[in-house]
Homo-oligomer: A and B are copies of this chain.
Amino acid sequence: MTENRSVPIVFIGAGNLAVNLALALHQKGFDIVQVYSRTEEPARSLAEKINSEWTIDLEEVTTQAELYIVSLKDSALVELFPQIAKGKERALLVHTAGSISMDVWVGEATRYGVLYPMQTFSKQRIVDFKEIPFFIEANQREDVELLKSVASVLSDKVFEADSVQRRSLHLAAVFACNFTNHMYVLTADLLEKYRLPFDVMLPLIDETARKVHELPPLAAQTGPAVRNDEEVMNKHLEMLSEWPEMKEIYRLLSESIAARHHE
């Protein structure tokens, strides 16, 4: 393992995922030599924390590193691939995007792959990687092993997954995380309208998450929709009449719960 920590790494991108991953690698002793971002502040801010160089010019990215971790917004990614790969024929280039196939590298790079940590990352909250599943893919067997050895320093859960599996995982993660968090946003909006503190919901939010460690989600379901309690649902819809968007969400999700449980 130790030898891999001497692999010089460059981060292309300094967003939420890059910041969390770079900090974790730095803390484990990896040598991150440079950070690129399109704008100065994120590049400089991350570079300072991990003691590396930084640049906002792709032309200035060193060609001497061995591993390039490319973590950009998906649209920017595809556009910048040729420029990113230029002059780095001997290095391993990986992206971190759940929804982008490994094949985007074909014709651009010689050694390429994907390093996808499935988690929700924010700069304001640095996560512990220990439990985070990493999904890994590379075009050469040795590079699968290299990526595994790097990821294994951070996490106990490192898996190989092809691009189709990873795309499926990413879609499922949108439901499990992004849409779930949006439910919390709507909860907070409602409580604010009613001048009630959001904190009061935390035990319920925690138990809802803990519950599915023990019960399949379908068996864990409670509430008016699964009970088919129309009186309560009609009352709720009436309470939401001032907020048509939230009302529509309430209606659609309640119908979906009823359909799923009584099919």
- A interface residue numbers (CB < 8 A to B): 16, 73-75, 78, 99, 118-122, 124-125, 127, 131-133, 157, 165, 167-169, 171-191, 194, 196, 198, 200-209, 211-227, 229-232, 235-236, 239-240, 245, 248-250, 252-253, 256-257, 259-260
A222 to B226, CA, bound (A): 29
B173 A201 Cβ-Cβ under 8 A:
yes
18 A–B contact pairs at CB < 8 A?
A73-B227, A119-B207, A124-B214, A132-B203, A169-B196, A173-B204, A176-B183, A177-B222, A178-B221, A179-B249, A180-B184, A182-B253, A183-B183, A185-B217, A185-B221, A185-B260, A186-B256, A248-B252
- Which residues on the B side are within 8 Å of A230 (C-beta)? 75
B181 A208 Cβ-Cβ under 8 A:
yes
B133 A203 Cβ-Cβ under 8 A:
yes
- Which residues on the B side are within 8 Å of A232 (C-beta)? 74, 99
Residue of B whose beta carbon sits closest to that of A209? B209
- This chain: how many copies in the complex? 2
A231 B75 Cβ-Cβ under 8 A:
yes
- Main SS of chain A's interface residues? helix
Question: Given A120-B211, A200-B133, A252-B248, are A223 and B177 also a contact pair (CB < 8 Å)?
Answer: yes
Chain B nearest Cβ from A106, distance in angstroms: 18
A203 to B248, CA, bound (A): 30
A169 B200 Cβ-Cβ under 8 A:
yes
Partner of A175, one of B165, B178, B190, B214: B190
Q: Give 13 A-B pairs besides A74-B229, A171-B236, A179-B253 with Cβ atoms closer than 8 angstroms.
A: A99-B224, A119-B203, A122-B211, A122-B215, A125-B214, A133-B200, A168-B190, A172-B191, A172-B201, A181-B208, A181-B217, A185-B260, A186-B256
